[in-house]
């Protein structure tokens, strides 16, 4: 059963899709599909890395008078695991995204969910996106050091295998230079603060710029 919070988020997603479809400027739509890191837990929406990347890309195009624009489809849900990725992608196909940044799996790892299931879920989601003609960027995740070297290595390797099998671009670690840095995270030590999201946006920007 879907809890009340998830129901509200899906309804909000419908409104976002409707707004995207009603867009008049024909901007290329980028789907950011993820969990609380992508939702921007702990910061305002406009300070989350997806919003910052979109702003940076559009500013980049405007400066160069390239006549291009991009729009974000915000698909981050706090607490979500990779098991929801495929069904959520099907939902967001209505908005006709051209690019998808898939950043899921952190909660799988933190909860100790089976690594083979994570791989299966990511692989199926990327497969559907490619079938629909969507360009995919897969964002890798890592486990905290206290989870043990063996578990961490097995978890991290999933992203490399999926990216290689599917032939998609891989960002090795979405939280590079942010994860574990006290001054770049909110009080829970897990979710990036505004400064952390700026760094993530700077990491993601060149990957999106290249595929666009």
Structure confidence by residue, pLDDT tens digits, 5-29: 544 444 445 444 444 433 445 699 9
Q: Which of 157, 168, 95 is nearest to 125 (CA)?
A: 168
Helix 194-211 and helix 49-63, axial crossing angle in degrees, nearest 10 = 50
Domain span at residue 147? Answer: 28-211
Q: What is the pLDDT of residue 1?
A: 41
Residues labelled catalytic: 36, 188, 191
Tell me the CATH number at 150: 3.40.50.1110
Residue 8, in any domain of the structure: no
Give the tokens for residue 103: 């950043």
What's the pLDDT tens digit per position in 63-116? 888 889 999 999 999 999 999 999 999 999 999 999 999 999 999 999 999 999
Q: What is the pLDDT of residue 116?
A: 98
Residue 140, in any domain of the structure: yes
Helix 115-131 and helix 85-92, axial crossing angle in degrees, nearest 10 = 20
Yes or no: say if 193 and 52 are a contact pair by the CB < 8 Å rule: no
Residue 93, in any domain of the structure: yes
Binned at pLDDT 50, 70 and 90, residue 32 comes out as very high
What's the pLDDT tens digit per position in 130-159? 999 999 999 999 999 899 999 999 999 999
Q: What is the pLDDT of residue 26?
A: 67
Residue 21, in any domain of the structure: no
pTM: 0.88
What's the pLDDT tens digit per position in 179-202? 999 999 999 999 999 999 999 999
Mean pLDDT of 39-57: 98
Residue 20, in any domain of the structure: no
Residue 6, in any domain of the structure: no
Q: How many domains does the chain have?
A: 1
Which spans in 25-138 are helix H? 36-39, 49-63, 85-92, 106-110, 115-131
Q: What is the pLDDT of residue 66?
A: 86
Residue 5, in any domain of the structure: no
Residue 166, in any domain of the structure: yes
Higher confidence at residue 13 or residue 172?
Answer: 172
């Amino acid at each position: 059963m879907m809890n009340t919070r998830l129901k509200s988020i899906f309804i909000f997603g419908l409104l976002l899709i409707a707004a995207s479809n009603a867009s008049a400027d024909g901007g290329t739509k980028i789907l950011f599909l993820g969990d609380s890191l992508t939702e921007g837990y702990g910061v305002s929406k406009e300070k989350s890395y997806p919003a910052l990347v979109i702003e940076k890309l559009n500013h980049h195009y405007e400066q160069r008078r390239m006549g291009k624009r991009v729009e974000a489809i915000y698909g981050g849900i706090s607490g979500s695991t990779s098991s929801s990725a495929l069904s959520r992608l099907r939902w967001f196909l209505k908005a006709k995204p051209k690019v998808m940044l898939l950043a899921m799996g952190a909660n799988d790892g933190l909860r100790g969910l089976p690594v083979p299931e994570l791989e299966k879920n990511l692989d199926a989601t990327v497969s559907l996106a490619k079938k629909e003609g969507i360009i995919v960027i897969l964002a890798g995740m890592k486990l905290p050091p206290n989870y043990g070297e063996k578990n961490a290595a097995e978890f991290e390797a999933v992203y490399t295998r999926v990216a290689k099998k599917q032939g998609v671009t891989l960002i090795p670690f979405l939280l590079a230079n942010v994860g574990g840095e006290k001054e770049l995270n909110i009080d829970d030590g897990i979710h990036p603060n505004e400064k952390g999201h700026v760094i993530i946006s700077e990491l993601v920007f060149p990957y999106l710029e290249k595929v666009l």
